[in-house]
Amino acid sequence: MGTVSGHGVSLEDLVTRFKSASESLERSYRELQGRVQSLTAELEREREQRIRLERLAAMGEMAMELAHEIRNPLGSIELYASMLEGEFAEQIVRSVRLLNHSVTNVLQFGKPIVPVPTRMSVYRLLEGIRVFLQPVAQQKDVQIVRIAIRIVLLSPILSCCTGCC
């Protein structure tokens, strides 16, 4: 075969380059198709999860409403049962109180938790941490020493304070 208009490139070279570029484009296209399918599947999973979470939130709201509706007559039932005498009346009162406790837990679960910051001495904080960790430490046969807790926990605070002055 000859060269193309004096450029020194043969038609065979051009065809080879074209095939190579074409194959490269086809590979890229297949990779992109795979990526699009993967992203589409991921989007669908996330959409399904969002729908599920919305349904759970709606169920939670219905549970709260139901708990309110159940709680109202419980007070009346407990009052009337407490006026009665006998073993069955006591059983009714106990059962109503247990159910009321469960309803209260459902209602408390639905309330937002708002932390209330309070002032506390460092000693009280460290002692609370020690008491909290003590059962685990005993299981692991570790002894918690009060002075060590203070040093370990206060070291970062003290190093920050010395840099401030």
pLDDT, position 127: 84
Give, in degrees to the nearest 5, the angle at Cα 84 between 69 and 92: 45
pLDDT at 66 over 70: yes
Task: Tell me what the pLDDT averaged over the chain comes to.
Answer: 84
pLDDT, one tens digit per residue, over 77-128 is: 888 888 888 888 889 999 999 999 988 888 888 778 888 898 988 888 888 8
Please state the rounded mean pLDDT for residues 63-71. 87
Q: How far apart are CA 13 and CA 107, in angstroms?
A: 78
Residue 96 tokens, joined: 């109503």
By CB atoms closer than 10 A (0-12, 13-18, 19+), residue 38 is exposed
- Best CA proximity match to 66, nearest among 18, 27, 99, 24: 99
pLDDT, position 28: 94
pLDDT at 53 over 70: yes
pLDDT, one tens digit per residue, over 24-52 is: 999 999 999 999 999 999 999 999 999 99
Give the burial string for 133-142 (b: 16+ CB within 10 Å, else e). Answer: eeeeeeeeee
Q: Say which CATH architecture domain 11-110 belongs to.
A: Orthogonal Bundle (1.10)
Instruction: Determine contact, residues 10/3, Cβ cutoff 8 Å.
Output: yes
Domain borders along the chain are 11-110, 122-164
pLDDT at 164 over 70: no
Query: How many other CB atoms are there within 10 angstroms of residue 96's CB atom?
Result: 20
Instruction: Determine contact, residues 115/86, Cβ cutoff 8 Å.
Output: no
Please state the rounded mean pLDDT for residues 1-20. 76
pTM: 0.46
Cα 136 to chain centroid distance, Å, stands at 25
pLDDT at 2 over 70: no
Q: How far apart are CA 87 and CA 76, in angstroms?
A: 19
What is the SS3 assignment for 3? strand
pLDDT, position 39: 95
pLDDT, position 158: 63
pLDDT at 150 over 80: no
